[in-house]
Structure 1
Amino acid sequence: MSELLNAEKTSTVNKEQSVWVKLGLDNPVFWMSGGFLTLFVVIALVDNKLLSSLVNAGFSWSVSFFGPYWQLLLLATFLIGLALAFSPGTGKVRLGAMDKPEMEGFKWLAIILCTLLAGGGVFWAAAEPIAHFVNPPPLYGVPEGNIQRQAFNALAQSFMHWGFLAWAILGTLTTIVLMHLHYDKGLPLKPRTLLYPVFGERAMTGMFGALIDACCIIAVAAGTIGPIGFLGLQISYALNALFALPDGFTTQFIIILCAIAIYTISALSGVNRGIQILSRYNVILAVGLMAYILLVGPTDFIINGYLQGVGTMVDNFIPMATFRGDMSWLSWWTVFFWGWFLGYGPMMAIFIARISRGRTIRQLVTTISIIAPLITCFWFTIVGGSGLAFEMAEPGSVSKAFEGFNLPASLLAITQQLPFPMLISILFLILTTVFIVTTGDSMTYTISVVISGDLNPNGLMRTFWGVMMGATAIILISLGSGGVSALQSFIVITAVPVSLILLPSLWNGPKIALQMAKEQGLD
């Protein structure tokens, strides 16, 4: 009898240990990252004003002291990546210990576009061009008597923020470093691996390595929770405008619950199923909407705006990338975006490393640093450029809706001026939802990979992080939009340690690429 009781006790202990391990509760990274995010939510619940003041102070400090460094870091990452891609030797280096790509080209590009562009690519595509049109960027000012030039400048500034530099920091040099150290050297696919060439084993073990991973998880979790929360706020606003549904917490709660369910189920199905299927169909929907607006919208202005906007950006590329003339404007535009994208850097690099086996450095860099940004710029021209054309034809038709930085209102002001406005508005809302769901899906997967150290993390861990991020978003929006706004500003603060983690890739990326070129007989 005693032996049976002992066996039952042992079985119960083993089950408890199994759940403990499956959730990553034995990993200090879990407690550091989860504990910090919990503390953020607790302060928000107890004293939201205190949280806002702390975050605003941290935000101002971050953009003042790290803004110039971030500008140079993004510019250097882009230029060095291009040099490696178009070098005869390093460009042909094949990554991931495979002779040919593991994933078919369209699927690969679709996942990259949907994951990295996210929901910002819909609402910001509508809002940012009109914002720069109404209040021209200080580098350009207001062209005398040339309203069309003012519109082209507005597009060019939007292209800078969502174009070459933004994309390059999310997965070029860092991906090269991670893919070599993981697939060729057997090191784990974790942020700490980026610092292995600098600190050796010290970066891979102990509290130092755990702290590196935790900083990156906090940054990307904040960067994902924010858009999930804003999805609830923005879709709720749009449903109220279109169908007179109540624009309140209940509607927002239901929207986020649906998003949690979709991206958690998708994450459980794995990279080769859920994420891939969502990305493929969302890209098809985006292409369909682009073609429709190009045909029935202000076609001439869209074509001219894209060519002129890209041309203006390229002509003024270095001045725009290094502009320091207006600190107030910079902190709420360029440096804000750079901090937001930097926070995603290490975790996006891990995700891209996971889906890019068999790609060459040239394929990786040109796709992420050139092709994807040019597609993004065209998307911004289709959506935001249409808004500019409508605004010039009828002043106030878009800008009035945008007043108060109302991103969803600016999108609806554009879609309502197209043929079949209701249908197009609904399709845009679906597109936005799936974009954000895809990001939640991929980041849930990536966080689980980092904590578990397994490329196929268990379903319990994926479910936990998916639900946790969604639940955090629900708690924050229950406090009003200020809770999510505080989190959005907090994202920039988290970019400070993350940007230091990314720095060594500027020299380790080229060093590893040259080494691999020799090993593969390409030098």
Structure 2
Amino acid sequence: MKKATPVFIVSIIVAVLFIIWGVIPASMLGNAALKPVTDAVQGFIVDKFGWFYLLTATGFLLFSIILIFTKFGRIKLGKDTDEPEYNYITWFAMLFSAGMGIGLVFWGASEPMYHFFAPPTGEGQTSEAARVAMRYSFFHWGLHPWAIYSVIALALAYFQFRKGSPGVISSILRPILGDRVDGHLGTFINFIAVFATIFGVATSLGLGAIQISGGLASVTPAITNNITTQLIVIAVVTVLFMLSAQTGLNKGIKYLSNLNVVLAISLMLFLLFAGPTNFIMDLFTTTIGSYFQNLPSMSFRLFPFDADNSWVQDWTIFYWAWWIAWAPFVGTFIARISKGRTIREFLLGVLLVPTIFGGLWFSVFGGSAIFLEYFEGIPVYSVIEESGMEVALFSVLQNYPLGMIMSGLAIFLICTFFITSADSATFVLGMQTTNGSMHPPNSIKFVWGLIQSAAAAILLWTGGLEALQTASIIAAFPFAIIMILMVLSLMKSFKSEKFTNVTKPVDLEKKD
């Protein structure tokens, strides 16, 4: 622990106090128990600042797109002579596994089905509701989240690899805050990043535990999908990812990321060809066009004249908050693996490739679910209502050939995504609490592994999925403000860059 910093000490104290608070029975604390307090804070933030999340996320997307077409896109994330450490396939695999793995598997079938029955506008269970369901699934998992990740990853990689700054959040703000980032203000900024990371990752780990438990219960009737099973899953997978975390970035995370992509693509291709192939590809093609056509209006839609605005709060605002809460974790990790790429190459890769893959994923799993319900009359949604969203994937797979085998593969995929996300998070938390060390000590990664698993377990125990969503929204609010400052700091620093022509004009007279 010799590399522990004030950020590590403060973060550990707050995290442990949160866990203790969650363990104390509600009967002893009354309204001061964890769930009532977090519900009240979340309700205030959503009611008063829902617009803030929408404008912030859309602003990050506009910033990223504009940056691609400016001269700043030529800047390397590193010295001008640096080359990328990882090839494209490994790079995409690692950023994708860390960025969205568990969430895609959890929501791939369940979210389109939910929107199909309860769309933001109009009647459910219609062809128009199906189109809207797919479009919003693309929207929630498309350009906006990856733009959020891009902002912080770009800022960290730029300042760390090109400017030689420590790989911590506070160092990004030096151009606008000066030496104050070296004092208490910097410690507070880094603590906010760690706080957001803990609960952003805890949300994802909680989703993974819920779905592993639901999957096991669906393929093995002797297992019950309840909080006890979910806590056992967290305990078992914690041991596995802690073992992986000790091997470092270039072994455990790298190999697991490649395995994740192979398993995910295999599962997706199987359902694509075992299911209604033409329907799925027609749906993908149509939804891609509809998504880009409606992207501006969806980015700013809040339904101010509707008495009940809960759909946007429960879905879009939750997602934008979740992505912001995940941003310090995913951003730090993507920055670490992106050294040597130009800003233009980086942004195009991070924005487009995962967005297209995510759209295809939702078309395959969500499209197959809607096809079963709409054309075959198979009640997939009633299973979700009865057993929870976590069983939607398994309900769909069991209606196609080799359903049990594919369900087992899906459970294994969720486990490997769980391990990769948690493993990556221990690395990132270790970096952020050791002043940006590229190789944080195993002892510190071990501590953070226990903390994030305990946080996920407490949130599940005190309120399940709803508590996980609440934690993300609360953690994201202060960090969103820090991310806005990052954009300003980046633009100020870009102005000091000196550009030279890559090629010199040919002197024709001399050549002759």
Length-normalised TM-score, structure 2: 0.91
CA contact (8 A) 2:160 2:167 kept: yes
Match of residue 52 from structure 1:
35
Match of residue 181 from structure 1:
159
Going from structure 1 to structure 2, the CA distance change for 1:514 and 1:173 (only over 3 Å counts) comes to farther
User: Is 1:435 paired with 2:412?
Assistant: no
Match of residue 139 from structure 2:
160
Q: Report the CA distance between 1:513 and its aligned residue.
A: 4.2
Q: Secondary structure at the match of 2:331?
A: helix
Q: Report the CA distance between 1:487 and its aligned residue.
A: 3.9
Match of residue 464 from structure 1:
447
Q: Report the CA distance between 1:301 and its aligned residue.
A: 1.6
Deviations 1:165-224 (A, max 9, x none): 011101x23333222221232221111123222211102x22211111111111111111
Equivalent residues in 2 for 1:201-216, closer than 5 Å: 201-203=179-181, 205-216=182-193
Match of residue 499 from structure 1:
480
Equivalent residues in 2 for 1:114-133, closer than 5 Å: 114-133=97-116
In structure 2, which of residues 171, 175, 183 is the aligned counterpart of residue 193 of structure 1? 171
Distance 2:223 2:373 in 1: 29
Distance 2:388 2:229 in 1: 18
Distance 1:433 1:522 in 2: 50
What one-letter code is carried by the residue in structure 2 that aligns with 1:169?
I
CA contact (8 A) 1:296 1:419 kept: yes
In structure 1, which of residues 334, 339, 345 is the aligned counterpart of residue 321 of structure 2? 339
RMSD over aligned CA atoms reads 2.2
Match of residue 80 from structure 1:
63
Q: Report the CA distance between 1:398 and its aligned residue.
A: 0.9
Match of residue 136 from structure 1:
119
Going from structure 1 to structure 2, the CA distance change for 1:261 and 1:78 (only over 3 Å counts) comes to same
What one-letter code is carried by the residue in structure 1 that aligns with 2:109?
A
Distance 1:37 1:464 in 2: 11
Match of residue 510 from structure 2:
none
Distance 2:424 2:359 in 1: 23
Q: Secondary structure at the match of 2:358?
A: helix
Match of residue 228 from structure 1:
205
CA contact (8 A) 1:92 1:522 kept: no
Equivalent residues in 2 for 1:387-466, closer than 5 Å: 387-395=369-377, 397-403=379-385, 406-453=388-435, 454-466=437-449
Q: Report the CA distance between 1:304 and its aligned residue.
A: 1.3
In structure 1, which of residues 149, 170, 179 is the aligned counterpart of residue 128 of structure 2? 149
Equivalent residues in 2 for 1:214-293, closer than 5 Å: 214-247=191-224, 248=226, 250-293=228-271
Q: Report the CA distance between 1:521 and its aligned residue.
A: 6.1
Q: Secondary structure at the match of 2:173?
A: helix
CA contact (8 A) 2:175 2:492 kept: no
Going from structure 1 to structure 2, the CA distance change for 1:520 and 1:93 (only over 3 Å counts) comes to farther
Q: Report the CA distance between 1:452 and its aligned residue.
A: 1.0
Once structures 1 and 2 are overlaid, which stretch shifts more, 332-341 or 38-47?
Answer: 38-47
Q: Report the CA distance between 1:518 and its aligned residue.
A: 2.0
Match of residue 13 from structure 1:
none
In structure 2, which of residues 15, 25, 49 is the aligned counterpart of residue 37 of structure 1? 15
Q: Report the CA distance between 1:457 and its aligned residue.
A: 0.7
Match of residue 93 from structure 2:
110
Q: Secondary structure at the match of 1:200?
A: helix
CA contact (8 A) 2:318 2:469 kept: no
Once structures 1 and 2 are overlaid, which stretch shifts more, 235-244 or 100-109?
Answer: 235-244
User: Is 1:64 paired with 2:47?
Assistant: yes
Once structures 1 and 2 are overlaid, which stretch shifts more, 155-164 or 310-319?
Answer: 310-319
Identity, % of aligned positions: 30
Going from structure 1 to structure 2, the CA distance change for 1:108 and 1:217 (only over 3 Å counts) comes to same
CA contact (8 A) 2:175 2:493 kept: no
Distance 2:491 2:187 in 1: 26
Deviations 1:77-105 (A, max 9, x none): 11221122133x22222212243211111
Identify unmatched segments of 5+ residues in structure 2: 505-512
Distance 2:402 2:464 in 1: 36
Going from structure 1 to structure 2, the CA distance change for 1:390 and 1:515 (only over 3 Å counts) comes to farther
Deviations 1:20-39 (A, max 9, x none): x25x2xx2212322222222
What one-letter code is carried by the residue in structure 2 that aligns with 1:364?
F
Once structures 1 and 2 are overlaid, which stretch shifts more, 194-203 or 250-259?
Answer: 250-259
Match of residue 354 from structure 1:
336
Distance 1:384 1:517 in 2: 48
CA contact (8 A) 2:54 2:320 kept: yes
CA contact (8 A) 2:97 2:260 kept: yes
Deviations 1:343-364 (A, max 9, x none): 1223322211110011111111
Going from structure 1 to structure 2, the CA distance change for 1:352 and 1:520 (only over 3 Å counts) comes to farther
Deviations 1:372-410 (A, max 9, x none): 111111111111111011111233521101116812221
Going from structure 1 to structure 2, the CA distance change for 1:520 and 1:403 (only over 3 Å counts) comes to farther
- The count of residues paired between Structure 1 and Structure 2 equals 492
Distance 1:268 1:522 in 2: 46
CA contact (8 A) 1:444 1:466 kept: yes
CA contact (8 A) 2:93 2:257 kept: yes
Match of residue 77 from structure 2:
95
Deviations 1:150-173 (A, max 9, x none): 212110011111110011101x23
Q: Report the CA distance between 1:309 and its aligned residue.
A: 1.3
Going from structure 1 to structure 2, the CA distance change for 1:405 and 1:332 (only over 3 Å counts) comes to farther
Q: Which runs of 4+ in 1 moved over 4 A?
A: 519-523
Going from structure 1 to structure 2, the CA distance change for 1:461 and 1:311 (only over 3 Å counts) comes to same
User: Is 1:473 paired with 2:456?
Assistant: yes
Q: Secondary structure at the match of 1:244?
A: coil
User: Is 1:486 paired with 2:464?
Assistant: no
Deviations 1:254-289 (A, max 9, x none): 322231122222222111111110010110111111
Distance 1:62 1:522 in 2: 52
Distance 1:81 1:297 in 2: 37
CA contact (8 A) 2:134 2:287 kept: yes
CA contact (8 A) 1:398 1:414 kept: yes
Q: Report the CA distance between 1:366 and its aligned residue.
A: 0.9
Distance 2:480 2:503 in 1: 32
Q: Report the CA distance between 1:321 and its aligned residue.
A: 0.5
Going from structure 1 to structure 2, the CA distance change for 1:404 and 1:99 (only over 3 Å counts) comes to same
Going from structure 1 to structure 2, the CA distance change for 1:475 and 1:331 (only over 3 Å counts) comes to closer
Q: Secondary structure at the match of 1:333?
A: helix
Distance 1:295 1:443 in 2: 35
